[in-house]
Every structure is written in structure tokens, then in C-alpha cells.
Amino acid sequence: MIAPSHRLLILLAILLALAVATAIWPVAAPIWWAGAALLGVAAVMDAAVVALPPALTAQRRAPGSLPVGVWQCVDLRIANGGRLARRLLLYDHHPDTCDARGLPCAVRVARGQWAELHYELCPLERGEHRFGRLEARLSSPLGLWERRLYLGQESVTRIYPNFAALTKYALFATDHRLSQIGVLQRRRRGEGVEFHQLREYREGDAQRQIDWKATARAGKLISREYQDERDQQVVFLIDCGRRLAARDGDLSHFDHVLNAALLLAYVSLRQGDSVGLLTMGGHNRFMAPRKSAASVNLMLNLLYDLQPTLMTSDYYAAALELMRRIRKRALVVILSNLRDEDEDTLSPALRLLSRRHLVLFASLRESILARALSARVDSFERALTHAAAADYLKQRALAFGRLERSGALALDVEPPQLPVALVNRYLEVKGAGQL
């Protein structure tokens, strides 16, 4: 499809204005006719050149899987196999659920040459999404015409939960700098931990760690070193109901929940435990606990296309299902958002699960509550907002107190804090031998 460019339309407007002038000064008519003829010949020749087969090919190089909420680079390669240099403006029809920056891309490709372009893409919604063909606006040599072309092929990409956090954790774990991302490494003490090795006494070791027989043989203090118990189970009970559709920034609470579950699954596998999951609230997906290195990939493929539903989750029904499927004692991590109306089904569910398992209820607290409390109170309306937020948080704290008295562990944090807070609580449980 060939269309006049802005440059040609401007020249035609100027020509029309000069036509009005020649009506007032007829002596200028020959000059006007000469200009009109010159523009007409140039426009026809320019159109003939841009109509020639362009011999352009394009290729998009984008990862087959992308993490939600993370900016990624997409590469575009344009090759010109013709005998003329080509100037074009390139658009990529990326999925509507992604933000992009750096488009459109302007480029000039010499004859027989190729050019590489780049732009950045940020997926905002998980699932399977499609890239359309590349759209090019090809300019004629004189810039009087534009030709629209579609190049390359359509492609499909999968948008996963943010697995970039796993890479960051692995990097810091390898480099022994986990404290820089908020993961606390504590000395493992107490019952329920496994003997690892004997070593020389270090300042700060508890007296009960000293092995007196080995000390007598060696003639110096020898301590026993312990490691966390292995071969245990961590099972996620993930709420997919409507309350997880709330958003803090670009990501929904559900996205934050999936990111936290993936990070804790990765950490648990590194600790020698097995990982499984069960969903509730409109989706019924199950993965039996397993210890293989591929477990995180299995979780990614099982969860990547889930979206929060409009249903209200039934904790008790989910607890019955989990008790039926998981016979061995496990750490059951419930990822949800506590509400006042949950008392009827949540308390019985926790009592049921606690008969066999150790339960950790991890809840997301809306960030707006902290902002409301920290905002300056300079009006009656803001005073009411501050009082309401304070009262809500007080009632919420009482509800979590009741959960803990029922035998469950509780965690109530803002969405961005959930992954690291969940890992720290898991490490506390392992270190204390509570499983």
C-alpha cells in the first residue's frame, strides 16, 4: 500500500496557495505551471521507485519465555537484498499486554547490507501471548511517498511469573552474600537438626555443641556442627480467588504470590526438601511433592497462565483436598489475603491441617494502609482516613493473633516484601526443627 507522505502533502498545500496567488498576479502563472509540472514528474518517478519490490527481510529475536514485570531487550534484524538503499520506520506488533519503549525505530539500510535494532519490552500479564508481523513504513528516495510493508513472521511467547528473582538468589547464594537481598543466615540450633560434622570450637558456639569425647582425644575444644533436616516437604496452597486481583503498582497481588512461591520453592529444593502445590479459588491444579531439579520449571509451566478468578476461596474445602492428597507431614504455606469474613472457613481449615502438618498462613497487606498512616494529617478527611487505617490494622493484628493461637504460623507483609520474608520464615522453621 502506497500513500503520500507529509512532505508531499505540504508541497501540494504550498502549490495550492501559489495557485491562488497566480489568480491575483497572472504574470506568475508560467512559473506556477513549471513548478507544478516539476513536482508532478518528481512524484511519479518517486512513486515508481518505491513501488519496486523492496527485497527486504526482517527477523525478530525475542526470548521464548519472559518474566512478568521485567524489562527485556528485543532484537530486530533488517536485511536489504535490493540494489537501492532503503529508509524505513519499523513498528513491532508486540502483545497488547506489554509496555514497550524505543518504538518505532528509524533506520537506513544500504544495498546488500543489514542493520540491527533494539527496543525494550515489559510484560504486564502472564500467559501465552502472540507477536504479530513487523510493520515497516518504507520511504521513497525523495520522501514524497510511504509504502506499508509487513515483514517477518508471527511468533508466540510465554509470560511467566518473575523467575528473575531466582537468578538473583542463586547468584547471591553462590557468592555467600544473601544478606544483601534480605535473607538472614542464622546459626542452626536446637532439636530436630541433623549432625553434619565435627570442627574446632569457634567463639559464639553454644556449650551444648561441644563434643567432649572428641575434645579429650584432640586436646582442644571440638564442636558439633549441624545442618537443617532434609527430605521434608513444602506444599503451597495458593489462593486464586478475587481478593488476589488487587494491584500494588504494575503487578497484581497474585503475581507477587507466584513470585514468592517460586523463590521459596527454589530455596527449599536447595535445602534438600521436596516441593508441591495445590490451587484453590476457581482453579484446581495439583503437583505432588517432588525433589528433582526440574520442580521449579514444572511449577512455572503449571502456574504461568493462571489469573485470579471472581470466586471466593473456600479454605476448608481446600484443606480437605490437601489432607486427602498429602499424607506425609509437610510445611503447608497458604498464600492468600486475610479478610474478616474468612473466620468461618479459615479457622476450621487451619485446625484440620494442623493435625498433620505445620501451617504457615502468609497474607498480603495492602501498601496503601502504610501510606495512609504515614501521610500528614492536615484535614478532617485525612484524620478520618488515618483513624480508619489504624483501626483496620488493629483488627487485622487481632485476627492474626487468633490464627497463631490456633497453632498456625502467620506472616502479614506488603506484596514486595513477601518473597524474602517467606524465605526467612522458612529458614527459621528449618533452623528450629519445627518440622
**Would you call the peptide bond into 104 cis, given omega within 30 degrees of 0 as the criterion?**
yes
d(CA 265, CA 259): 10
Both 365 and 390 in one domain: the answer is: yes
Q: Nearest Cα to 198, choosing from 217, 223, 221, 227?
A: 223
pLDDT digits (tens, 9 = 90+) for 34-92: 888 999 999 999 899 888 888 899 999 988 888 888 889 999 999 999 888 899 999 99
Higher pLDDT, 375 or 123: 123
In the block, residue with C-alpha cell 528473582 = 165
Domain membership flag for residue 76: yes
Pairing of strands 98-101, 233-239: unpaired
Predicted local distance difference test score (pLDDT) of residue 188 = 44
**Residue 111: pLDDT over 50:** yes
Predicted local distance difference test score (pLDDT) of residue 213 = 84
Which band of pLDDT confidence, cut at 50, 70 and 90, is reported for residue 434?
confident
Both 235 and 221 in one domain: the answer is: no
pLDDT digits (tens, 9 = 90+) for 140-192: 989 899 999 999 999 999 988 876 666 665 555 544 555 555 555 554 443 34
Both 304 and 250 in one domain: the answer is: yes
Q: Is the CB of residue 388 less than 8 Å from the CB of residue 373? A: no
d(CA 19, CA 430): 88
Both 84 and 203 in one domain: the answer is: no
The mean per-residue pLDDT over the stretch 22-39 comes to 85
> Count of alpha carbons within 13 Å of 409, Cβ hemisphere only?
20
The range of the structural domain enclosing residue 77 comes to 1-160
Both 86 and 25 in one domain: the answer is: yes
d(CA 207, CA 431): 18
What is the per-residue DSSP string for 283-340?
Answer: ---EEEEE-STTHHHHHHHHHTT----SPPP-HHHHHHHHHHH--S--EEEEEE---G
Predicted local distance difference test score (pLDDT) of residue 192 = 42
Both 252 and 386 in one domain: the answer is: yes
Predicted local distance difference test score (pLDDT) of residue 343 = 67
Q: Classify residue 190 by its DSSP letter.
A: S
351 phi/psi in degrees, rounded to 5:
-65, -40
Give the bridge partners for 15, in sequence order. Answer: none
Cβ partners under 8 Å of residue 335, min gap 6: 236, 237, 238, 239, 257, 260, 261, 362
Predicted local distance difference test score (pLDDT) of residue 174 = 47
Domain membership flag for residue 389: yes
Q: Is the CB of residue 316 less than 8 Å from the CB of residue 345? A: yes
d(CA 346, CA 353): 10
Both 276 and 389 in one domain: the answer is: yes
Mean pLDDT for all residues in the chain:
84
Both 220 and 259 in one domain: the answer is: no
**Residue 248: pLDDT over 80:** no
Both 221 and 265 in one domain: the answer is: no
d(CA 349, CA 248): 28
Domain membership flag for residue 190: no
Pairing of strands 86-92, 134-139: antiparallel
- Amino acid in position 83: R
Pairing of strands 86-92, 105-109: antiparallel
Q: Is the CB of residue 129 less than 8 Å from the CB of residue 95? A: yes
The mean per-residue pLDDT over the stretch 268-295 comes to 91
CA dist 416 to 49, 67, 236, 258, 349, Å? 56, 16, 19, 12, 27
**Residue 239: pLDDT over 60:** yes
Both 212 and 249 in one domain: the answer is: no
Domain membership flag for residue 156: yes
Q: Nearest Cα to 200, choosing from 227, 223, 173?
A: 223
d(CA 141, CA 158): 40
Predicted local distance difference test score (pLDDT) of residue 167 = 63
Both 424 and 317 in one domain: the answer is: yes
Q: Assign 110 to helix, strand or coil.
A: coil
Q: Nearest Cα to 69, choosing from 136, 137, 163, 153?
A: 163
What is the number of structural domains in the chain? Answer: 3
pLDDT digits (tens, 9 = 90+) for 193-204: 556 678 787 776
Q: Nearest Cα to 225, choosing from 194, 197, 245?
A: 197
Residue 191: burial class (beta carbons within 10 Å; 0-12, 13-18, 19+):
exposed
d(CA 100, CA 330): 43
Q: Classify residue 43 by its DSSP letter.
A: H
Both 362 and 301 in one domain: the answer is: yes
Domain membership flag for residue 80: yes
Predicted local distance difference test score (pLDDT) of residue 187 = 46
Domain membership flag for residue 417: yes
